Amino acid sequence: MGKYTGCQCIICQNTFEEKDDIVVCPECGTPYHRSCWESQGHCINSTLHTTNGSWQRIQDERRIKLGGKTCPNCQFVNMPDVERCAVCDTLLTPPPAENNDESQKIRIPLPNGEQMELDISDPCCGMNPNEPMEGETLGDVANFVKTNTLYYIPLFRRFRDTGRKVSLNFTCVVFPYLYFAYRKMWFMAILSGIINIICNLPAIMLQMLSTLTSKEFLLDLQRSYGADATTIFDGLTTFLKSNETLLTNLNAPLYLIGLGVQILLCLFGNYLYYRFALKSVSKIRKISPTQQLRKALLDSEGGTSFWNVVGCIGIYYGIVLVIYAVLFILT
């Protein structure tokens, strides 16, 4: 009698429990404790008898208003907080969240004046998940990209359909290594980071020379550590001064090379990510005997990582500090 658990006997006003002995009026369906029914000898729900109503229908309507779950097997409307049907014990699916679905849908204006509705919670953006994507499926690629698929999936389709490789990735103009780390592309993150450091090395060393020879720095050093403290950096200062002309001559060309690399990464960064996604999905597909394992690997290996960005920043400035330390030790 699980279907009546939590309902109320209208004679004693007590809530039915799982162990209770319950009887039901054969005409209107109102449930009673057996002892309550026997004490009255008949159904007291005269309103339903007069209107030819149904107690079960009223309960169903009440539960539906509360977001109740309809059993796909027996159609019984259960309370919203249960996982299995009270009548047939079938596992229930979550109730439809209409408001949530609506809040995740956006409308995109089309050139002809019409609007296209997209569900942003759908990683495939309403597109066919089985659509071929250079040997993989659009669904697998979308599950790998995981975030911002509304931007990347249409862009990837354009790469595939047109053969074009150029698009704009403005993050790569300023911090290409951080973008690649965020998208878990460690090879490109390390490569672009090393290129960035090399191209900025003359500027870093010239800035170091400017700091070491500034009066403010020397006075602060003397006040903090004594008059002889400035001699600690004499060797490094001498080395930098003797190479100042070379560093100055290298600074502008290397800066332009670095800027050129960043512009190229701005233009081709998205395409590099496209190729990385396809290659990664292909590897995952080959080692995944089941769809469930593939989905789990796509979820863990793809997407983005904030901590990768934090780690990349730490590595970048760690390398700069190592350069300072090496110069200090060698000079």
Residue 205 falls inside a structural domain = yes
Residue 84 falls inside a structural domain = no
Residue 93 falls inside a structural domain = no
In a shared domain, residues 176 and 308: yes
In a shared domain, residues 147 and 71: no
In a shared domain, residues 199 and 318: yes
Residue 86 falls inside a structural domain = no
Q: Where are the alpha helices (DSSP H) in 41-170?
A: 46-51, 55-65, 98-103, 138-145, 149-162
In a shared domain, residues 119 and 17: no
Cβ-based burial of 109 (10 A; exposed 0-12, middle 13-18, buried ≥19)? exposed
Res 261: pLDDT: 96
In a shared domain, residues 143 and 222: no
Residue 233 falls inside a structural domain = yes
- Cα–Cα dist 42/308, whole Å: 72
In a shared domain, residues 222 and 122: no
In a shared domain, residues 201 and 310: yes
For the chain, the domain total comes to 3
Tokens, residue 96: 């439809």
Tens of pLDDT, residue by residue, the chain (331 residues): 456 766 778 888 887 787 888 888 888 888 888 888 888 888 888 877 887 777 776 666 666 666 667 776 666 677 677 777 766 667 766 544 444 444 456 666 655 566 656 666 777 877 888 899 999 999 999 999 999 998 999 999 999 999 999 999 999 999 999 999 999 999 999 999 999 999 999 999 999 899 888 888 888 877 777 767 677 788 888 889 999 999 999 999 999 999 999 999 999 999 999 999 999 999 999 998 888 898 899 999 999 999 999 999 999 999 989 988 888 887 7
Structural domain boundaries enclosing 226: 171-330
Res 98: pLDDT: 47
- Cα–Cα dist 218/122, whole Å: 61
- Cα–Cα dist 327/316, whole Å: 17
Res 116: pLDDT: 59
Closest by Cα among 28, 54, 66 to 77: 66
Domain end among 162, 185, 212: 162
In a shared domain, residues 23 and 120: no
Residue 177 falls inside a structural domain = yes
Reported residue count of the chain is 331
Q: Which residues contact 276 (CB under 8 A, 6 or more apart)?
A: 183, 185, 188
Res 259: pLDDT: 95
Residue 91 falls inside a structural domain = no
Residue 107 falls inside a structural domain = yes
In a shared domain, residues 180 and 126: no
Q: Tokens 């047939």 identify what position?
A: 88
Strands (E), the chain: 22-24, 31-33, 69-70, 77-78, 105-109, 115-119, 132-133, 136-137
